[in-house]
Structure 1
Amino acid sequence: MSERGVCREASHAGSWYSASGSQLNAQLEAWLSQAPPTIRPARAIIAPHAGYTYCGACAAHAYKQVDPTVIRRVFILGPSHHVPLSRCALSPAEIYRTPLYDLRIDQKVYSDLWKTGMFERMSLQTDEEEHSIEMHLPYTAKAMESCKDEFAIVPVLVGALSESKEQEYGKLLSKYLVDPGNLFVISSDFCHWGQRFRYTYYDETQGEIYRSIEHLDKMAVSELRRNGADMSFSFLNYAQSSQCRSWQDSSVSYAAGALVVH
């Protein structure tokens, strides 16, 4: 289903993260060196998709859990910010450019997913304008650089899914999740607070506004944390783009987490 030779450019490089490969590499190495390797290797991670100035250090806690020696395929699931989708969509590209090195899309998996009839095809413009996937490309490249010729990626743009469709996609992708050679990267920010986001919930019992936001985020984290006999999910880091203290302020929350299969 791909167009032969089509490459997705790193459209947000230079504004959301450094377009200089050497500078970007140094930044990623610094953040990763400061993140403790607590529970690696992960089968899936959650990490934010904001500019690296805001969330680079937080995301490192998730990517530190990746073991490149066992991973041969990286699924990157990012929400659609610019186009309305009621399903999931696949890229028309075969190669994703990053300032570090190019990432190859797994066309065999793409073909298998396309045959299910559950996926739309996004345009190259939509793909390049969407930051939720792109912000994970340099980190994926960095985490996997020691085995950069031995893996491929599977980018998936996720729409506003109904509960029934969530279950359908979950069932479809679960067969890939059980394979230890696959890593799932879930691109997600947390609370967007402020008048510009049209969300200003404030629980005064928590103290300052940013404390109320943190309490709200951690309630969401508690709902997401589900441990079973054969797997466990842990959140490793939490951060906010700024600390809101007045109604004129705004912030976005970030969290890093990892799923480990025992």
Structure 2
Amino acid sequence: MSVRAATHAGSWFSGNKTTLSKQIDQLVAAVKDKHPEFPIPGARVLVGPHAGYTYSGKTLAETYSAWDTSKVKRVFILGPSHHVLFRGAGLTEFAAFDTPLGKVPVDTECVNELLKSRLFTIFDEEDDEREHSIELHLPFLFKASEKSPNGVPSIVPIVISSTTPSYEEELGKFLSKYVSNEENAFVISSDFCHWGLNYGYTAYTPSPDVEEVVALGKTRSRSRSSHPDLPHGEVSDKTPIYKSIEYLDRKAMEVLSTGSIDQWNEYMDLTENTICGRRPFSSLLHCLNSASKKRLPMNGFASEHERDTWGKLQWIGYAQSGKVHSLKDYSVSYTSGYAVI
């Protein structure tokens, strides 16, 4: 088995080991100055973006600063497929992923175990090297874990493409058996709203409650074929577009924190928000809900607080690549978060 090249090094992030290491160190130091409580004990679920580090580096630093690496030996990374459409979830054929900082090993034994399930297929090597949703996390993962007791963990990269709600539920329940093992961590790689004519999405809401969502201009918003386009509307004088985008994203974050898959699906139906990790998030919610049900009869919870917060996403930061003021502008949003399990 071969090693996957760091195909986005030198463009999306520095290909120079010293430069990249220093950049990440500086970003992480700034986060820990603001959050001296990091890392969070038991934070084994992470959420972070996958854009070039000029845009998402600060947010990724927030994500990986919260990570409790003390017992972790293996990380399941769920990300969306950007360049090729296929059914279900794909698993890598590579034995390791290269980064400018060093190689991150793939848990090939676990990959082979997963492949015995009908839920997974092989992700073609050429498509794998084009995809960036996994790769962009690895330098931060490497730096965050290299001095931990177990060193840099192995990874199980899972790239999710075209799915159905029933598949997402089945995938989440399948992965839930790995949650109770404290040597396992889980990462959701996802950018949030991709807004602008070039993304086919110009949704607008005037208020934080996101009860009314319309599309701006004459463009048709991106929507799933089984759902109608958003109705057309205009910008309110009180709410600039970039603030509306934040309202859309923060509502998504709020809904994800509830752990409710029904509320998540209702939110997506209402807004059609272009969150590229929508399907990984759906699978995560099913995974944590299933694991919670298994935990309760077996071990219970140490306290009411643990019961209420276990597996619930907590958010650290939010950012946008730029401030959108008109239909001529565009932006992508980034979030950082974690859950204690």
Is TM (by shorter chain) over 0.5?
Answer: yes
Query: 2:80 matched to which residue of 1?
Result: 79
Report if aligned partners of 1:68, 1:146 keep a CA contact under 8 Å in 2: no
Larger-Rg structure? 2
SS at match of 2:147: helix
Moved more, 25-34 or 61-70: 61-70
TM-score, normalised to structure 1, is 0.94
Aligned-residue RMSD, C-alpha: 1.5
In 1, Cα distance between equivalents of 2:246 and 2:311: 26
Query: 1:98 matched to which residue of 2?
Result: 99
Moved more, 11-20 or 202-211: 202-211
Instruction: Report whether the alignment pairs 1:181 with 2:178.
Output: no
In 1, Cα distance between equivalents of 2:121 and 2:59: 32
Structure 1: runs of 5 or more not aligned: none
Moved more, 141-150 or 19-28: 141-150
Query: 1:192 matched to which residue of 2?
Result: 194
In 2, Cα distance between equivalents of 1:10 and 1:55: 18
Deviation at 1:69, TM superposition (A): 2.2
Aligned length: 257
What one-letter code is carried by the residue in structure 1 that aligns with 2:243?
R
In 1, Cα distance between equivalents of 2:60 and 2:152: 23
Deviation at 1:231, TM superposition (A): 3.4
Percent sequence identity is 40
Query: 1:122 matched to which residue of 2?
Result: 123
Deviation at 1:70, TM superposition (A): 1.0
What one-letter code is carried by the residue in structure 2 that aligns with 1:58?
T
Within 5 Å, which residues of 2 pair with 1:81-230? 81-147=82-148, 149=151, 151-203=153-205, 204-205=235-236, 207-226=239-258, 228-229=307-308, 230=310
Moved more, 28-37 or 248-257: 28-37
Report if aligned partners of 1:43, 1:177 keep a CA contact under 8 Å in 2: no
In 2, Cα distance between equivalents of 1:29 and 1:106: 27
Query: 2:19 matched to which residue of 1?
Result: 23
TM-score, normalised to structure 2, is 0.73
SS at match of 1:253: strand
1:184-222 per-residue CA deviation (whole Å, 9 max, x = no partner) reads 110000000001001111233451110010001011111
Describe the shift of the 1:170–1:103 C-alpha distance in structure 2 as closer, same or farther (beyond 3 A). Answer: same
Q: Which runs of 4+ in 1 moved over 6 A?
A: none
Report if aligned partners of 1:41, 1:65 keep a CA contact under 8 Å in 2: no
Deviation at 1:85, TM superposition (A): 1.9
- Highest RCO, 1 vs 2 (Cα 8 Å, sep ≥ 6): 1
